[in-house]
């Protein structure tokens, strides 16, 4: 039988996946957000994952994008790529995943395969999603239908390491399902696949990729807090240490976004449910969450050192997205700096031509400035190419200003401080 694939959730992960699969199979992309589907059908992708041309070409051939549930019921493979955020209390919010599972369950037929790509904790697919699939479909797991888990590893904004260039971890609920999942991805992933022995192993592999990155960054962030007190430059120390072959060269910085700053909590949740409270993972999270506050107070103390009065001064923050050259603002830590500086009594402008201004208002309740002027403090928070190319000197108040470079990308001689 020729596969017909349905991708549930057309965001940063789902859209590129639907487009990649549509080069080999008939694909229906389904999203509950009708506005998103309408935009995509007019070749507009606000996530910047697909160009107008690529979308137009894909939609001319085997890709259909819809919000109409009736159109997805004759698929035989369902791939779920919906969000998995955490709640305010940092607990996994499975509402999107469970609701998508209910939707898929309504369409399931004997022999169908359901693959999850959303980031979860080990056990989530089989313990949380499968019961919903069974209830909603009336079918029996591993008898009537099968599951797989294949974590997404894309890096939005990165034009080199794109979906098909990154090795894909695959798994299935039976050896046969695992083989089917593996072959399916192998047909589109140029970098190949890595099949694990169980769904739990694949789920855990994704959770630890991001938790490891979070921890490595938290270590250098902690070093930045220590070296600031000592009065030495962290980047210089790291560059010196990195001349040894086995030193891991991580840079200090703000850790935001909905992967690295979120996924460790999935692991924490699972560990706690089994009676173990992780210390290392949580302490890394705590350090990383402090960095916005540290940057703001550092900028203020550098201003005082230069004799610039704080009250009534203006500060400019360059960049609000959670990473460079990407328009995603979810869980960005830049607003922490913004609010801290306001608490210190500064008037703060936030400038980011890459971010969507309406999204920033909606998500962070901050209005972006369109025309930055002159400032007593300038903070480079996100290293978008355009900020590096243009530099920051134009924004300096000629009577005195502090430049702080969070990303350590500007010329050292031109800045007053960096992380």
Ligand X SMILES: NC(=O)c1ccc[n+]([C@@H]2O[C@H](COP(=O)([O-])OP(=O)(O)OC[C@H]3O[C@@H](n4cnc5c(N)ncnc54)[C@H](O)[C@@H]3O)[C@@H](O)[C@H]2O)c1
The residues annotated with a catalytic role in the active site are: 259
CB of 96 to ligand X, least distance (A): 4
CB of 104 to ligand X, least distance (A): 9
Q: Which residue is nearest to ligand X (CB)?
A: 11
Cβ closest to ligand X, residue 201 vs residue 310: 201
CB of 370 to ligand X, least distance (A): 26
- Tokens 């002159």 belong to residue: 374
CB of 157 to ligand X, least distance (A): 9
Cβ closest to ligand X, residue 168 vs residue 418: 168
147 torsion bin: left (phi>0), alpha (psi -120 to 50), beta (else): beta
C-alpha–C-alpha distance, residues 196 and 178, integer Å: 8
CB of 44 to ligand X, least distance (A): 13
The residues that touch ligand X, with contacts defined as CB under 6 A, are 8-14, 30-33, 36, 81-84, 96, 99-100, 103, 117-119, 152-154, 156, 258-259
C-alpha–C-alpha distance, residues 192 and 166, integer Å: 8
Cβ closest to ligand X, residue 84 vs residue 137: 84
- Give start and end residues of each alpha helix (H) in 5-94: 14-21, 34-41, 52-60
Q: How many beta carbons lie within 10 A of that of residue 169, not counting itself?
A: 22
C-alpha–C-alpha distance, residues 163 and 277, integer Å: 34
- Tokens 């009577």 belong to residue: 399
Following CA atoms 49, 52, 55, 58 in sequence, which dihedral angle do they give, to the nearest 10 degrees?
A: -140
Annotate 182-213 with b (16+ C-beta within 10 A) or e (fewer): bebbeebbeeebebbeebbebbbbbbbbbbeb
Cβ closest to ligand X, residue 132 vs residue 259: 259
Cβ closest to ligand X, residue 36 vs residue 384: 36
């Amino acid at each position: 039988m020729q596969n017909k694939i349905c991708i549930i959730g057309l965001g940063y992960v789902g859209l590129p996946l639907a487009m990649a699969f549509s080069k080999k199979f008939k694909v229906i992309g389904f999203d509950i957000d009708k506005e998103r589907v309408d935009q995509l059908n007019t070749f507009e992708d606000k996530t910047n994952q697909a160009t107008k041309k690529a979308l137009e070409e894909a939609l001319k051939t085997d890709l259909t994008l819809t919000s109409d549930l009736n159109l997805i019921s004759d698929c035989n493979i369902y791939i779920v790529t919906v969000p998995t955020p955490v709640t305010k209390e940092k607990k996994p919010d499975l509402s999107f995943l469970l609701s998508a599972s209910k939707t898929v369950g309504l369409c399931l037929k004997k022999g169908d395969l359901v693959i999850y790509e959303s980031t979860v904790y080990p056990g989530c697919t089989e313990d949380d999603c499968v019961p919903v699939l069974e209830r909603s479909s009336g079918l029996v797991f591993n008898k009537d239908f099968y599951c797989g888990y294949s974590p997404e590893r894309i890096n939005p904004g990165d034009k080199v390491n794109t979906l098909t260039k990154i090795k894909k971890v695959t798994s299935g609920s039976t050896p046969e399902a695992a083989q089917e999942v593996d072959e399916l991805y192998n047909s589109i992933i140029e970098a190949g696949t890595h099949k694990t022995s169980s769904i739990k192993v694949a789920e855990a592999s994704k959770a630890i990729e991001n938790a490891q990155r979070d921890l490595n960054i938290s270590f250098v962030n902690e070093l930045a807090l220590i070296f600031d007190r000592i009065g030495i430059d962290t980047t210089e120390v790291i560059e010196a240490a990195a001349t040894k072959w086995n030193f891991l060269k991580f840079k200090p910085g703000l850790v935001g976004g909905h992967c690295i700053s979120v996924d460790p909590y999935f692991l924490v949740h699972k560990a706690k449910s089994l009676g173990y409270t992780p210390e290392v993972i949580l302490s890394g999270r705590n350090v990383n969450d402090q960095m916005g506050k540290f940057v703001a107070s550092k900028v203020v103390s550098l201003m005082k050192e230069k004799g610039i009065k704080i009250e009534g001064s203006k500060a400019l923050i360059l960049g609000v997205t959670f990473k460079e050259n990407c328009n995603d603002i979810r869980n960005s830590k830049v607003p922490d700096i913004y609010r801290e500086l306001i608490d210190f009594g500064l008037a703060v402008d936030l400038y980011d031509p890459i971010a969507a201004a309406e999204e920033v208002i909606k998500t962070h309740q901050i209005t972006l400035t369109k025309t930055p002027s002159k400032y007593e403090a300038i903070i480079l928070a996100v290293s978008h190419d355009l900020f590096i190319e243009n530099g920051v000197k134009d924004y300096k108040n000629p009577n005195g200003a502090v430049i702080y470079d969070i990303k350590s990308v500007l010329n050292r001689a031109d800045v007053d401080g960096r992380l």
